[in-house]
Structure 1
Amino acid sequence: MKEFFNVETIEAVLAQVADFPVVDTEEIPLAECLGRVLAEEIASDVDIPDFNRSTMDGFAVRASSTFGASEANPAYLAVKGQISMGVRPDMTIGPGEVARIATGGMLPEGADSVIMVEHTDILDDTTIEAYRSVAPGQNTIEKGEDILKSEPALPRGRRIRPQEAGLIAACGRTMVTVFRRPMVGIISTGDEVVPVTQAPGQGQIRDINSHSLSGQVLEAGGVPVTFGIVKDSRDDLMERCQRALQTTDMVLISGGSSVGARDFTVEVLDALPDTGILVHGISISPGKPTILARSGHKPFWGLPGHAVSAMVVFAVVVRPFLDRLCGLSQATKKFPVQAVLNRNLASAQGRVDYVRVRLFESDGTVMADPILGKSGLIHTMVKADGLIAIGMNTEGLYQGSVVEVIPL
């Protein structure tokens, strides 16, 4: 077992993400796939679109018939007919000819562009004048321009948003293979922690972490499974951990990760079968006494008991491990937003400080306002829009510095 405060860097901890396997897969209906992670590559069974189509209401035309057209010198074009929606046109457009077409209509043979109806005047049922020229391909989408048949349309490991769901539908899929949602066990510890339904007495506090961590797990695509509050009892904690490991893919314990006579997390983890502690101490503030263990093939975390510390550690360190379990690829990584710090901010060297910030706009610039407060004050997270990191070899940041904000 590693000694406490054999502190690892955040980078060293995150380097272990790939050592854990992803969860298994399942096939679900397209209608239920939103928010899930693709476990297969999606390809289309047809070209999308499967024909040359108009993107405007107007007239299908050969572009060359409009060259040189202007308001002073319009092109006079013969209307050959009207194209019905959803059917293949039975006409061919020759030089000097057009056909009425609606948005989404199929271009007839001979037409390579569409004149917008706004750029024409209808002289009679058989003649229009066009006072704008168009280029070949203008106001049209070519066959296969969106997706080519049998070519990869979506890669494995992408989270399905509404736009991905639409593309899957366009590819003709009604069932989709996705990764199962990881089950994440959550255990709160401490004699001082009481249920939300109970009024806390002297020296007691309601169980915040079960609910805040559950919310973070849900946001990340996991399924939180709460195992209640465990008092400071080694045997009770051992039983609860064993139960959580039997039914979940990752376990989070909040509290009991620091040095203390009644902190049994390290002792229990060291005693669990096929379990080894990988990290006990991370160079992060808040959250230095965080534990990462491996039980079989499952990650097992000992998080600080303070609500802010637990949430920050989850956002920075635990979330990438949960993303791995979910099957997310690195290509889906979210990037921070940039803002300008509105005041000086001091920091201690030797650790990465994560500071809560509120974002606001001033004269068109996004500003970051630090929210300072102790790691037990949950209201500081409520006020925060994100976190900024101050590097471990930095003594602080100056007002006016451009910072990267990790959204919360």
Structure 2
Amino acid sequence: MGKILKGATAQDTHSAILDLIRSSGTVTRVDLAERSGLTGASISRVVKQLLADGLIIETGLGDPTGGKRATLLQFNPRARHAVGISIDTPSTSYVVTDMSGRVIEQVSSRGIGRDAPATAVKRITAELEDLIVKANIEPATLIGVGVALAGRQGGGGMRLLRTDASKYAWEPFAVRDTLSAAIDHPIVVENDSTCAAIGEFWAGRIPSANDFATVYMAAGFGLGLVTNGDVYRGSSSNVGEIGHMILDVNGPHCWCGGQGCLESLAAPAAVVKRAEQDTSLVNELALRGRRTAVRSDFAKIARLAAAGDPRCVRLIEESATYLAKALLSITNLLDLDQIILAGPGFSEAGDIYVRIAGTEINRLSFVRAMHPTRVEQSKLGPSAAALGAASLVLHSQLTPHQKSTRALTS
């Protein structure tokens, strides 16, 4: 934190101290001075302003140390609110959170399916306004709406050419600009895996000094990387497409044009395709075999695997092994000490993925003699992307010292 504050502006200093309070849960002024490298007088000035702004509150006294007991500080969770929306093909999830990332209200509705973007946006706008009313929050405390969606992201009004309409129907659509015109709140749009990562950072109160990766599985795989207190986005906000990391040069063709990609080997569609070779399993689980049913078919297989059915265990373990190999390469490249698995794809059999990935990485990673790499499942649940989208708004607005490159659009 001291390095972050060296030569910082007043705004950055306030932002960094607020972030330190966020990650600490409760903290004293003395603790803040020690961790930030600022003087006690500087901390007092910053804390006084944050208290006046209502962003933090005093919440009791610290442990006795022989002198006057220090006052504890923490986030004022009701000071600000954010909305997160996860737009997906099977469902659309909405959450309203307070400043700590705690969910106040949430709801799910049908997904975009094959709806035209204009039709979907009209419905999303109406559902969003209903949710805000239901949450019963002061309008002035709502600082923005975050949107998580799969696929390549385009900056500003950029329109992206579609590669496979069945995968990312909204790719040619300027999502942020259209939503901004329809919704009377500041908007930020981001990749779902990036949202999941910032959700873990913000709602999980992970310190800015801790770098980690989040793997998000829905229809495919994405990776969000948090480093130095912000998500790493690459040159065009399209970082983390590990689903298209090539694991087998002679493997099956992938819709992206590659061959032997992780997605073609281990994503839900690949698992369902292998399951369809077992007629008894198809009949027992009533697998529908349609492209629109892949996610629900995969959930059935994963659920039975979690219950110990050997046929489904083999299928999920094969998928988990491919993912583990990809994460081993990522760990060797980035020297990770924490990987979090998030998203609906891990809801049913996440423990199997955690076990196999953790074992593989800690058996073979280049840095295993220096430190272990923790692999764990997200505690944010199936709404990780929506919660992350709300967290992204809070992160962008309340901790601008991280210099996030993704700005809110009014």
How high is the TM-score relative to the length of structure 1?
A: 0.30
Structure with greater helix share of residues: 2
How high is the TM-score relative to the length of structure 2?
A: 0.30
Structure with greater strand share of residues: 1
